[in-house]
Every structure is written in structure tokens, then in C-alpha cells.
Amino acid sequence: MLSKASSPYFGHNSFMFPDPLTDLASNDTTILVLGIGNILWADEGFGVRVVECLARDYVWPASVRLMDGGTQGLFLLPYLENLAGLIIVDAIDFGLPPATIHEVHGADVPATIGARKMSLHQTGFQEVLALLDLRGCSPRRLSLVGVQPVTLDDYGGGLTPAVAALVEKVGLRVLDLLRQDYGLDIAPVELGQQLPGLMAEAVTQAAYESGRPDAETACRHGDERLLARLKDAS
């Protein structure tokens, strides 16, 4: 099932790798690899997990940035204006069999994102692309690499096994696009090399999915991580 209930939680914070405070005037020489989606809803977090994997496993030149765009919508606009290139990674309802990888390019990207909306973040991101076009600030090259989700109706769940198995494969396809379209060969990290993480440790795939309570506990008491945050906020 590809529908899900609306949630007041708009998503995890947005993180960029390297430093997000770099002068945005450099956008015109930057290629941005943007993972969007909500990690709280199973396969919808796919795009975020792909950029997490890429940040962890490869050494990135200054001309390429990786971003966990979460569900930030219009807040992403400054990061996307006048880019040399934008590669979006997301879980998309292409109308294909579950766990199918598909990609589109150029003018087909906004139409694809808007054709079968599964999530509010896709409505918001379609508006972002439309505003970029209206203002004459669209990326010079645009690509979308997506996966057909298996399920989204699993609040607090991680990626389904079939979709999780595609994270590294889609990451390699992103590397192929960087090589083919921009002439960039991205090197893997060396053995033992430690790089800054793309996101806070608590929301990395390993920590988040291993910390989820079993179904019986969650149904009876709720997710302790969420309850703790609500208690702290009260």
C-alpha cells in the first residue's frame, strides 16, 4: 500500500556534506546530490539512506555536495538555485513493480514527481522545481533516480528488505551519472579512513532501525524515542 496517514512531524533535520555554511554564491559550480523523503515512513526514507551511504563510503570533491533534504520543501530553495547539476534520489510511485529502480532526466523530472504523489513532501518539492523555473534559476542539468516503494504504511519502520537491498546499487548509479554527465570520478574512502557523518548518529540507518521496538511493545506503549522527546518538550 502506497498511502499513509498525514503526520504533524515534518521530518528530520536537513544536513549537507561538506559544511552547509559554504557561501551559496558558489551554487553555479556545484553539483548537488539530494536525497529527499521521510525516514519515519518505511521506504519513503530511501533517498535519504542513499545519500547517507554515499557520504560514508566515498571521498567528495568540493564541487559535489550531498544533502539530506528530508521533507523540507520550500526551505531547500536557496540550495537549489542556479546549480550546475542536481541529482535527486527518492522513493517514487512510477506505477512499476515494487523495488524497481527507474530514472528520468531534464524536463521529465517535475512531471514524474507530480504525476503520482504518495507524500506531502513530493507536492512541496514539485513546487520548488516550479519556482526555480519561474525565477530562471533552475539547475542546468537535472536527474532523478528513484525506486518504486514496497510500503510506506509502517510508521517508525525502516526500509523494507527489498528496497534496502537497492541502496548501494542506486548509489553506484549516482556515481555513474557524475562520471557520465560531469566527468567526475569519485574515489572510495581508504581502509580505516574516517569522514564526518552526513547526519546525527541517532538518525543514521543502523542506529534508527536497530533502536525500533518490536511490534508488541510499540503497540502497547509507543516508541520510547518519541515518548522521550514529547516528555522533554512538555
Please state which of the ranges 10-19, 57-66, 173-182 shows the lowest mean pLDDT. 10-19
CATH class of domain segment(s) 15-199: alpha beta
**What is the spatial distance between Cα 130 and Cα 124, in angstroms, rounded to a whole number?**
10
**155 pLDDT above the threshold of 80:** no
Q: How confident is the model at residue 109 (pLDDT cuts 50, 70, 90)?
A: very high
pLDDT of residue 167: 97
pLDDT at 20 exceeding the cut of 80: no
**Among 201, 199, 212, CA closest to 41:** 212
Domain boundary assignment for the chain: 15-199
Highest-scoring range by mean pLDDT, 154-158, 193-197, 224-228: 154-158
Question: pLDDT, tens digit, for every residue of 4-15?
Answer: 333 322 334 444
Query: Mean pLDDT lowest for which of 50-64, 123-137, 168-182?
Result: 123-137
pLDDT of 57 reads 93
Mean pLDDT, the chain, rounded, equals 81
User: Pairing between strand 15-17 and 64-70?
Assistant: antiparallel
Q: 70-92 pLDDT, tens per residue? A: 888 888 888 999 999 999 999 99
Tell me the pLDDT band of 127, cut-offs 50, 70 and 90: confident
pLDDT band at 28 (very low <50, low <70, confident <90, very high): confident
Confidence of residue 233 (pLDDT cuts 50, 70, 90): confident
The whole model's pTM is what? 0.81
What share of the chain has pLDDT > 90, as a percent?
47
CA-CA distance, 30 to 81, in Å (whole number)?
10
Residue with the three cell numbers 548509479: 173
Neighbouring C-beta atoms of residue 212, cutoff 10 Å:
16
